[in-house]
Structure 1
Amino acid sequence: MSPAPITVQRLDGAQALAAVDALADVLIDCVEGGASVSFLLPLTRERATAFWRKVAESVGRGERVLLVARRRREEAGADGNADNSAGACGIVGTVQLLLDLPENQPHRADVAKMLVHRSARRQGVARQLMAAVDDVARAHERHVLVLDTVTGGDAERLYQRSGWQRAGDVPKFALMPDGAFCATTFYYKHLR
């Protein structure tokens, strides 16, 4: 049986606030899986939900765009009808587009916190999120995008396949969740 289809959705501030718990689940899973995404182990639920509340507030102020990937689970109930409740849609990935940049960079945006739950990896979720972030950037007239990722990590292949150009590496830029240093690679993309 193939995985359920993935849909990508842009959340507004209220929707982001309502999704804090599901987003925290994805963040915690990624950090526990070794992703260097600004947090050290152990990542408590309180820290994860506090982070997502701040993101939701920033989305509400128009400073960033929050995209989520949802896996649609169609489960037949006792009456044979599919379960279409909110609980039937699980968030399995997310990415942000940061728009609140200095006034001399109105053409640019930063891509941040590309997260995919380990259970949904290698199913095209990240690729769909990156395509959606390109579309959102174009809609906001941002044609230069920048991101950073762990040097040598799996995400580098995704970014390179998605047309991102490597700008360079910074040794010991950040820490892995276990506290070990890691190098970071910066990428940019010019949208056409």
Structure 2
Amino acid sequence: MYTVERLTADELEGAAGQLAALLLETVATGSSLGFLSSLDAEDAAGWWRALVPDVAAGRLLLWAARAEGADRIAGTVQLRPAVPANGRHRGEVAKLMVHPADRGQRLAGRLLATLEAGASERGIRLLVLDTETGSPAERMYAAEGWTRVGTVPDFATDPTGVARPTTVFYKQLAVAGEAPGGA
């Protein structure tokens, strides 16, 4: 059993070490998250701490999952609401990761569902994301009802530095009293 909670800026600061450990494990298993395999614990924790001002200002919403009885973070996901006045109805999903020991438990789907509910509550009705083409994450997003837009060749490198294609997805959400995609 997992609990998924949105972290405050103070909670993020306090959890930076555990989130760094999750990031390191995820990168070590080959997940393309924007980091190379040379990432170390100090840099990983610093990356998380650098997000604190955005969380405090509401420019970034971050959820973390913990397994009952475990003293580590099992998964996380981020939402970046769009800033422009003409784009406040949309947001970007980023850095969905699940610890290798917790994979296969549908935790990624639960994190996504929690993010989607949080986005909908904020009036966000369109989400976008990108993920490495051919990865388990690509299959999971499709299974969770995301629509594939297309593929961009050589968009990012994997943790070993090899350029890989990226698949872009979107999902329309219902906002209170609206059908998905409603205005």
Shorter-chain-normalised TM-score: which range?
over 0.9
Pair 1:13 & 2:9 matched: yes
Aligned to 2:159, which of 177, 183, 186? Answer: 177
Cα distance, 1:89 vs. partner? 4.2
Provide the residue aligned with 2:141 in structure 1: 159
* 2:38 counterpart SS class: coil
Provide the alpha-carbon RMSD of the alignment: 1.0
Q: How far did 1:103 drift?
A: 2.2
* Kept in 2: contact 1:72–1:90 (CA 8 A): no
Q: What secondary structure is seen at the aligned counterpart in 1 of 2:74? A: strand
Instruction: Name the residue aligned to 1:82.
Output: none
In the TM superposition, 1:30-69 aligns within 5 A as 30-69=26-65
Find the counterpart in structure 2 of residue 137 from structure 1.
119
Q: Note if contact 1:64-1:100 (Cα within 8 Å) is conserved in structure 2.
A: no
Measure, in 1, the Cα distance between the counterparts of 2:82 and 2:50.
14
Unaligned 5+ runs, structure 1 = 74-87
Residue 97 of structure 2 is aligned to residue 115 of structure 1: yes
**TM-score after normalising by structure 1:** 0.88
Moved over 6 A (4+): none
Q: How many residues align?
A: 174
Q: Per-residue displacement from partner, 1:136-165 (whole Å, max 9, x unpaired)?
A: 001110000000000010011211111100
1:73-127 deviations in Å (ceiling 9; x for gaps):
1xxxxxxxxxxxxxx5421100000014322201000000001111110111101
| Partners of 1:171 and 1:161 in 2: CA distance | 23
**What is the aligned-residue identity percentage?**
41
Counterpart Cα distance in 1 of 2:14 and 2:82: 23
Q: Is the aligned partner of 1:22 residue 2:18?
A: yes
Q: Which runs of 5+ in 2 are unaligned?
A: 175-183
Q: Say if 1:111 and 1:146, in contact at 8 Å, map to a contact too.
A: yes
